[in-house]
Structure formats: C-alpha cells, structure tokens
Amino acid sequence: MPQESKPPGPPNALKNLLEGIWETVSTIFSYVILAIASGVMRIVDYLLGIIEGLNQRFVRFSKASQSHLGSYFSTKSKSSVSMMVIYAGLTRNPEEILGIVLMYSIMLSATITFLAVATGPESYFGLPPRVIILMAMIGPFIATWVFFYLIFIVMIERRTSSVEKVLPDVLTMISQNMIAGMTVYNSLWIAARPEFGPLALEIQSVARETLGGESFEKSLMNMSNRIKSYKLSRSVKLMIQGMRSGGELPTVLQEIANDIRTEQNLFKRMSAQTTSQAMFILFALLIGAPLLFSSSLQFVTIFNKIYEKVGYSNTGAGEMPRQTGMIALQKLPITADFFFQYAIIMLAVLGLFGALLIGLIKSGKLSSGVPLMPIVVVLSIIVFWAMNTFLASFFKGMMTL
C-alpha cells in the first residue's frame, strides 16, 4: 500500500513564513533604494540646472563687464586693437578683448600684491619693502599687457608667413586658369583650396562679398587690407591695374609669382648662411653667460667665507681692512644673494634681447624672435642654476680638504 504524505510540521511552516517575510522585506527595501536613487538623481539634475543657469548668467555678465571695461579705452586704442584683431584673423570685438586683458591684469596684479604682503617682502637690491610691494602691483599689470601684445604680434606674423608662403602657388594657379580661358573671378574661386590655409579663406570671403553686391576690385582690396602682407597688397594692386588696363594679366601674375619665389629662395639662403651666427649667440646665452655668472657667484661666496674666517675689526667708522702679512683683506661691497639676484635679472634681459637678435638675423624681422624669448630665458636660468649647484659642490669639497 502507498504511504500517506505527512502534513508539514511546525519547522517547515516556520521556514516558509521566514522566507515570505524576507522576500517582502527585500522587495520593500529595493523599492526604497530605487526611490532614494530617483530622488537623488532629481536633486542632482535640479542642482545641475541651477549651476548651468548660473554659469550662463556669469558668462553673460562677464562678457558685458568686459565690453563695458573695454569701452573706457580711447578710440585710438580701440582702432589699433581692431586692426590687430583683423590681421590676426580673429572675429572678437576689440572692446571685449581690451576688457579681458584689463580684467586679467588687475586680477594678476592684486594676487601678486596680496602674496607679497602676506609673505612679508624682503629687501632686494637694497630696496625697502614698500618699493617691493609697489613693484608687485605695477609689474604684473604691465607684464600682462606686454604679453597680450606679444601674442598678437606672433599670431599676425604666423598668419602673414602662411599667406606669403602659398601666395606664389595661388598666383600661378590663377594665371594658368586664365590662360585656359576662365575669367578672373572664376580663376580666383578655383584657387581657394583648403591646403592654402588663411589665404583660401580670404579668397572665399572675396567671393561672398562679390556675390553680395560688392565690386570685385573692392573685394580684392578688402582682402589685402585684412592681411598684413606687402607682397599680397602689391599683387592685388597689380591684378586690379591689369584688369583695368586690359593687359596680359596672366603674364603679370606669373612674373609676380616668380619674383616672390626668388625672394623666398634668397631668404632661405640667407637663413642658412647665418646659422653659425645664430648658434654662436645661442651658445653665448645658454652656456657662456651662465658659466661666467655662476663662476663669479662662487668667487664672491668663497671670498666672503675666507674673509669671515680671517676676521675683521669693527670700529666706530665701520669695517676696516684686515692686514695679514703683506696682504690686506677687505670685505667685498656685494653679497652672494645680491649677485645671485643680479645674475637672474641679467640672464633674463640677455635672453630677451638675444632672442630678438636671432630672429632679426634669421629672417630679417625682430618679431620672428618673439617665440624664442621665453625658451631662451628659461633655459639660460636653468643652466645657470645647474652650473652654480655643480660649482658650489665642487668648491665646497675643495674647501674641506
């Protein structure tokens, strides 16, 4: 006979009850976690929306403040900055740029002044702390404006170089297209290739202005006014004269392209021939000057140490020279700290003017040396610090023998 199933006992009933309670609790707990996570996400989204709104308001306020600050400058200053902006290929408002530079210059000056006051300025070159604080206020302000001007000079120079580099190829292409039977406008439009960089963009601007109702000659003159290049300006004027006179414009453009190529080759040969002079100047700035200053600093340091060991007599009139046999020792009028500060300043000045001189030798323009200025200054100071550290350890070992 089959055995009858026994009803579940108390232990099984208790187990099932506990499992049911656990499932209920876990379900409720998961719903609570999901609700909390959803609430947290809503709070985060709300906070992000507030931050985004504040950021947009701050950006609008910052732009308005910058334009407002820039409006206080003179008309001549705004006109000069406007021309620099056009030559650099930018589309920013000159008043906004002036306001940005003024805002950063004030912020940097205030920060440096606060740090100088908080750290307690020491006396440098015999200057009192008040003068140091005044220099901390004025120096960063002027440095910011100089940095702004140098950046624009570099941007204008690079854009001009980029245009003049491809200008012969563009003129040759226009000339060949005109020989093939195209009009000047179509030849210029086909020459606006992407590989020609800023010049291609300017040619496209000429096409847009012409389609907008501006005369073709006026559009060409506007293009030459937006780029600070004598070669481009001369080429545009000859092109306009050729269109007006009805002469052999393709031949004129080809001759201009050949003249520009000849001039570029001449500059390349000049740059190759002046490489040795530029390398000599770099050697003097990066090796010679740091070595001389570091060795002179060690001389001052060692002599002062020897004088302190020998001793000197203090009188009411001051420090008198110490007579040691036939040699009279007298304390140097400068200290090692003073000479160290003097060396840093002189290396910075030499690096600035040396970089400008290298640019003048290599390309015939002082502005070509502007990008080298921070590199040469930083490297010369680093080499000076390394040489000074090496010589200090070397002479320290000799003094202990």
> Tens digits of per-residue pLDDT, 267-293?
888 777 788 888 888 899 999 999 999
Q: How many residues does the chain have?
A: 401
Cα distance between residue 147 and residue 125, in whole Å: 26
Closest CA to 148 of 112, 105, 87: 105
Q: Give the span between the Cα atoms of 81 and 74, in whole angstroms.
A: 11
What pLDDT sits at residue 47? 84
Residues 36-78 have pLDDT tens digits of 888 888 888 888 888 888 777 767 777 777 777 777 888 888 8
pLDDT, one tens digit per residue, over 180-218 is 888 777 887 888 888 888 888 888 888 888 877 888 788
State residue 315's pLDDT score. Answer: 44
For domain 159-271, which CATH number applies: 3.20.20.480, 3.30.390.50, 3.90.550.10, 1.20.81.30?
1.20.81.30
Q: Which of 356, 345, 336 shows the shortest CA–CA distance to 289? A: 345
Domains of the chain, residue spans = 159-271, 274-307+329-399
The model's pTM:
0.69
DSSP per position, 108-172: HHHHHHHHHHHH-PPPBTTB-HHHHHHHHHHHHHHHHHHHHHHHHHHHHHHHHHHHHHHHHHHHH
pLDDT tens digits for 106-115? 888 988 888 8
Whether 380 shows a pLDDT value over 70: the answer reads yes
Output the CA torsion sign for 175, 181, 185, 188. negative
Distance of CA 83 to the CA centre of its chain: 20
pLDDT confidence of residue 313: 45
